Structure 1
Amino acid sequence: MIDEKQPPSKTGKFSIFRSLWYRSRAEALDDAEAGRSITMPVARSVPPLQQVLRRLAMALLILFVTTLVVWLDRSGYTDNSDNSVDFLDAAYYATVTLSTTGYGDITPVSDTARLINIFVITPLRVLFLIILVGTTLEVLTERTRQQVRVHRWRSHLRDHVVVVGYGTKGRHAIEVLLAQGIRKDKIVVVDPERTATEAASSDGLVSVLGDATRSDTLRKAELHNAARVIVAPQGDDTAALVTLTARQLNKHATIVAAVREDENLPLLKQSGANTVVTSSSSAGRLIGVSMAHPHVADTLENLMTYGRGLDLVERPVAADEVGRSPRECRDLVVAIVRRKKVIDYTDPEAASLQAEDRVISIRQAVPSR
């Protein structure tokens, strides 16, 4: 029997500290590995050359100010060579002083010059060195800062949206998400092409570079903590593998997948997708409608473009709508979702709305901010 009041042994304490050390080391290595494939949103758009030129200009400005201060108080300095200090001597003194070389051939002798050296020249020297060394330190600490940002981001990310594929489908899906009020920091893009991840980063999104069919890539996107997953890669075979991998990592997330061919729809359903959209057949139907009824096609395009003209939305039934007909709602109801079954508004089952129902309706678009 183990005595719960007995304090842990030294060996037990060492074992605990050792396990904590290994865990923190494993997390650090994981963050370092993730930092090489995760691209955070671009915090600033100033090119590196422009940053260097800006710092060089600041350093030259400090050098000029120091030279001017010494030259204005040149009577308080002495030069071992000719006992007089001109503008060139002042520039020379400012250069060797700011660089901390200090040869001692020009020295402040008056009380005013020495006070100026204490309260003006010395702070300028420190600032000068900070500017010169700052560029080097920034390069050396960039990787560490990247790892810290990645660790902080991964530890706080929950209930987000993972978008696999930053092509045409993925970009338009994200546009709709943003129009619906989802913040950019709640969207993570996964793509195997570096140009796509860099474009996503430039658009203010976190992106993960890698093969989304691999579970380690999806873990870097924190898919196991995501609420929704959009699968929009180039090929249907890739979409099936990504959907299967995503469902294995997250049993509860809502997965919406896009495929090109109708024959692959059952495969995506079996892989774990909640909703599958076929792009080629949908485009073909829209083309056929456009030929027969051009204005109907325009209206359909309007409905599918969120935030423009009319929006097709799904919402819960309001309290004052319970027991009433769908035709009496404040917006145009076209269908009802009851116990995961979609019912047309003309169906007799939809004659009276119930509290647990959800309605699919057409309403006037709210302009996005």
Structure 2
Amino acid sequence: MNLDRQISTQARIEEQYRRIQQELTGGAVALVGVFWLGTIWYHLIEGWRWVDAAYMTMITLATVGFLEVQPLGDRGRLFTMSLILLGVISIGYIVNRFTEALIQGYFQAGLRIQRQRRIMEALSGHYIICGFGRMGRQAALEFQSEGVRFVVTDSQSDPIHAAQELGFPALQGDATLDETLLKLGVERAVCIIAALPSDAENLYTVLSAKTLNPMIRAIARASNEEALQKLQRAGADAVISPYITGGKRMAAAALRPQVMDFVDGILTGTDRTFYMEEFQLDASTCPHVGESLREAKLRSQSGALVLAIRRSDGTLISGPNADTTLMQGDQLICMGTAEQLRRLNQILCPIRSDSPRPPRHGQ
């Protein structure tokens, strides 16, 4: 009930802003029409010059009380009285609409809407976080530390205000609706994270996102095993269950604490020394496709370590040796310092050095 009320409130504000715009535009058009009516009358009926006719109309509408430009008969005076009445009505209508918009804050709301629209339209190759709860907030903080472009959406106003206070671009809306996803630029996004409270909402979000952009990578939250399987069938590329994943990590931390500390240290956080990164090989940009790791000399040139290679058919090669051949579509999972990974990025993608994204200093 609260969700529907908040969404309808947002929609009502946008509708009222559009209505005020239309009414102010209509009032301005009416005033211009009255001005031309008076000018044409004085020119054609009274036989005045265009300049005199326009001047007479202007001082009449402005009700400044100046004398007539030229003497008027009864007919001309009756028309002038009607012109004054029409002018007062038009100007009064515009002033009334403007005052209402100012008092109700529609102009401020309109500026926020336009600013949000410009931000969304400028986004490309970005990530979308649906739901700014505990999981969505943590994902946003990680993206911020990685320097990744992203946008947050939530159906409730409080999480949106919290995201905006942290400096995150945010838009209030229902992520299960195509309209909201299109506003977020889903067709230009590379990944969407469905971290909404219910499994049903996450399912609808994944289905909508995949329909609008079949190439987008979808990551969803699931509360149980059944929901996890349904989200996978719906097309989610990865499904995270906080309870299942949390239990596994707790067990791993108990059995292999040093390993977990090391893995956490290279995957997350802003004070890391080592990083892990993925590199997609493309024959059009990578000169080393078709070479072995020995021939490519990636370790000696960059200092980064190739931990694993995932082939385009899904085969995973853990701990590749020097004779492993690099092939088109391979994904290299590498580890190293920020500078080592940056050099490796330049070696693998000299033509398109901005892809994939290397980590930055200070992250």
Instruction: Report the TM-score, using the length of structure 1 for normalisation.
Output: 0.55
Give the match for residue 292 of structure 1: 255
1:208-251 superposed Cα distances (whole Å, 9 cap, x missing partner)? 22332222332332323323211112233322121112222222
Matched, 1:178 2:178: no
| Letter in structure 2 aligned against 1:219 | L
Matched, 1:336 2:309: yes
C-alpha separation in 1, matches of 2:216 and 2:198: 22
Cα displacement (A) at 1:139: 4.8
| Letter in structure 1 aligned against 2:187 | H
Which residue of 311, 315, 324 corresponds with 2:293?
324
1:309-330 superposed Cα distances (whole Å, 9 cap, x missing partner)? 3322111456468312599633
C-alpha separation in 1, matches of 2:325 and 2:278: 17
Matched, 1:149 2:149: no
- In the superposition, relative to structure 1, how do residues 155 and 362 fare at CA in structure 2: closer, same or farther (>3 Å)? closer
- In the superposition, relative to structure 1, how do residues 202 and 342 fare at CA in structure 2: closer, same or farther (>3 Å)? farther
2:173–2:180 Cα contact (<8 Å) kept? yes
How many pairs align?
Answer: 240
Cα displacement (A) at 1:141: 3.0
Which residue of 242, 252, 261 corresponds with 2:205?
242
- In the superposition, relative to structure 1, how do residues 292 and 153 fare at CA in structure 2: closer, same or farther (>3 Å)? closer
1:344–1:350 Cα contact (<8 Å) kept? no
Give the match for residue 233 of structure 2: 270
Cα displacement (A) at 1:339: 0.9
Matched, 1:32 2:1: no
1:34–1:150 Cα contact (<8 Å) kept? no
1:233-279 superposed Cα distances (whole Å, 9 cap, x missing partner)? 22333221211122222222221223233443331122121222333
- In the superposition, relative to structure 1, how do residues 140 and 163 fare at CA in structure 2: closer, same or farther (>3 Å)? closer
2:277–2:334 Cα contact (<8 Å) kept? yes
How large is the RMSD of aligned CA atoms in angstroms?
A: 3.5
| Letter in structure 2 aligned against 1:299 | F
Matched, 1:280 2:262: no
Give the match for residue 363 of structure 1: 336
- In the superposition, relative to structure 1, how do residues 140 and 342 fare at CA in structure 2: closer, same or farther (>3 Å)? same
Cα displacement (A) at 1:164: 0.4
C-alpha separation in 2, matches of 1:344 and 1:303: 20
C-alpha separation in 1, matches of 2:196 and 2:211: 18
Identity of aligned residues (%): 24
Give the match for residue 80 of structure 1: none
C-alpha separation in 2, matches of 1:154 and 1:35: 19
1:261–1:278 Cα contact (<8 Å) kept? yes
Unaligned runs of 5+ in 1: 1-28, 37-132
Give the match for residue 213 of structure 1: 176
- In the superposition, relative to structure 1, how do residues 140 and 169 fare at CA in structure 2: closer, same or farther (>3 Å)? closer
Cα displacement (A) at 1:198: 0.5
Give the match for residue 154 of structure 2: 191
- In the superposition, relative to structure 1, how do residues 297 and 218 fare at CA in structure 2: closer, same or farther (>3 Å)? same
C-alpha separation in 1, matches of 2:277 and 2:16: 37
Give the match for residue 70 of structure 2: none
C-alpha separation in 2, matches of 1:199 and 1:352: 49
C-alpha separation in 2, matches of 1:148 and 1:347: 51
C-alpha separation in 2, matches of 1:219 and 1:33: 18
- In the superposition, relative to structure 1, how do residues 202 and 276 fare at CA in structure 2: closer, same or farther (>3 Å)? same
Cα displacement (A) at 1:367: 3.6
- In the superposition, relative to structure 1, how do residues 341 and 361 fare at CA in structure 2: closer, same or farther (>3 Å)? same
Which residue of 109, 125, 132 corresponds with 1:159?
125
Cα displacement (A) at 1:286: 1.4
Unaligned runs of 5+ in 2: 1-10, 19-98, 339-359
Q: Secondary structure at the match of 1:260?
A: coil
Q: Secondary structure at the match of 2:293?
A: coil
Matches within 5 A, 1:32-111: 32-33=14-15
Cα displacement (A) at 1:340: 4.5
Give the match for residue 276 of structure 2: 312
- In the superposition, relative to structure 1, how do residues 220 and 320 fare at CA in structure 2: closer, same or farther (>3 Å)? closer
Cα displacement (A) at 1:293: 2.1
Instruction: Report the TM-score, using the length of structure 2 for normalisation.
Output: 0.56
2:123–2:185 Cα contact (<8 Å) kept? yes
2:130–2:194 Cα contact (<8 Å) kept? yes
| Letter in structure 2 aligned against 1:32 | E
Q: Secondary structure at the match of 1:243?
A: helix
1:161–1:226 Cα contact (<8 Å) kept? yes
C-alpha separation in 1, matches of 2:362 and 2:139: 15
1:303–1:310 Cα contact (<8 Å) kept? yes
| Letter in structure 1 aligned against 2:115 | R
C-alpha separation in 2, matches of 1:328 and 1:271: 39
C-alpha separation in 1, matches of 2:172 and 2:181: 10
